[in-house]
Amino acid sequence: MSILNGGCLCGSVRYTVVVPPKSVSLCHCLNCRKQSGSNRSMNWLVPVDDLMITGELSTYRDTGDSGKPVLRQFCGQCGSPIRTLAEALPGLAVLKAGTLDEASPVPPNYALYTVRAAFWETQGLSCATFERMPTPPSAASALSSGE
Q: Which member of 16, 39, 77, 122 binds Zn ion (CB under 5 A)? A: 77
19 bridge partner residues: 2
Q: Which is nearer to Zn ion, 4 or 114 (CB)?
A: 114
Which residues 6+ apart lie within 8 Å of 47 measured at CB? 18, 22, 91, 92, 93
CB 1, min distance to Zn ion, A: 27
Q: Is 47 helix (H, G, I), strand (E, B) or coil?
A: strand
Q: Which stretch binds Zn ion (CB under 5 A): 6-14, 83-91, 117-125, 135-143?
A: 6-14
Taking the C-alpha atoms of residue 59 and residue 49, their distance in angstroms, rounded to an integer, is 19
Q: Which stretch binds Zn ion (CB under 5 A): 56-64, 69-77, 83-91, 120-128?
A: 69-77
3 binds Zn ion (CB under 5 A): no
Q: Which is nearer to Zn ion, 92 or 146 (CB)?
A: 92
Closest CA to 142 of 89, 69, 106: 89
Q: What is the DSSP letter of 54?
A: E
Q: Which is nearer to Zn ion, 4 or 43 (CB)?
A: 43
Burial class (CB in 10 A: 0-12, 13-18, 19+), 40: buried
Binding positions for Zn ion, 9-48, rule CB under 5 A: 10, 12, 27, 29, 32
- Residues interacting with Zn ion, by CB under 5 A? 8, 10, 12, 27, 29, 32, 75, 77-78
